[in-house]
A and B are shown apart, each in its own frame.
Chain A
Amino acid sequence: MNIFRLAGDMTHLLSILVLLLKIYATKSCSGISRKTQELYAIVFVARYLDLFTDFISVYNTFMKVVFIASSLAIVWCMRFHPMVRRSYDRELDTFRHYFLVGASFALALILHEKFTVQEIFWAFSIYLEAVAILPQLVLLQRSGNVDNLTGQYIFFLGAYRAFYILNWIYRYLTEPHFTRWIACVSGVVQTALYADFFYYYFISWKNNSKLKLPA
């Protein structure tokens, strides 16, 4: 464990807590893409299949349980909570996210570390996580305005993967046989997807203006 990875995991946890706070406090999920949340739930379930077979550390197991439980809770809220589901931007959240699931799985069948069920689902979860934010970014482009909590949610989500890139550089420099191309390349692609959002977020923060995304 290194400081970059810990910072990454903490900002990832923070992004989920910000989202839970927004949904719980405002009883609204306007501006949040349910499709992105569903993709994240698939990512965590597919990636943590080893939850009961490989014990790495209490921290590792605890965080896996938190990520799976929180992502499923968010999807459940957005689908079944009477107050929250009413505020879902159904007509804006129209990204065909099943294509992302199919493409990621197809890629995982081709590119993986080992041809085992667990490794293929792990690679699938890595690829899917890289593109899972797309429905959310498309929804924000359509809705134009971004409320503070949603903006912070996406900012922390992008920062988490950026910290992981620093973690991979650090591990590459300090651990002799550390090679993790699938996660590295996919993580760089994922962070790049946030680049334009980060740009507009920084501009709005600098001008102290409301975050507006160009339509």
Chain B
Amino acid sequence: LEEILYHDEL
């Protein structure tokens, strides 16, 4: 989950 949340910004 950490990996996916990592680039949650545009």
On A, residues with C-beta under 8 Å from B are 5, 9, 12, 50, 54, 56, 60, 63-64, 67, 113, 122, 164, 167, 183
Contacts and interface: CB of A to CB of B under 8 A. Distances in A.
Nearest to B8: A56
A90 B7 CA distance: 36
Contacts of A183: 9
Interface residues of B, number: 6
Contacts of A54: 4, 7
A37 to B, nearest CB: 18
Nearest to A63: B10
B7 to A, nearest CB: 6
A54 B1 CA distance: 11
Interface residues of A, dominant DSSP:
helix
Contacts of B4: 54, 56
Contacts of B6: 113
Given A9-B10, A113-B6, 17 more contacts: A5-B9, A12-B10, A50-B7, A54-B4, A54-B7, A56-B4, A56-B7, A56-B8, A60-B8, A60-B10, A63-B10, A64-B10, A67-B10, A122-B7, A164-B9, A167-B9, A183-B9
A177 B4 CA distance: 14
Contacts of A122: 7
Most chain B CB within 10 A, of A9, A56, A64, is at A56
A98 B6 CA distance: 29
A64 B9 CA distance: 10
Nearest to A167: B9
Contacts of B10: 9, 12, 60, 63-64, 67
A50 B8 CA distance: 11
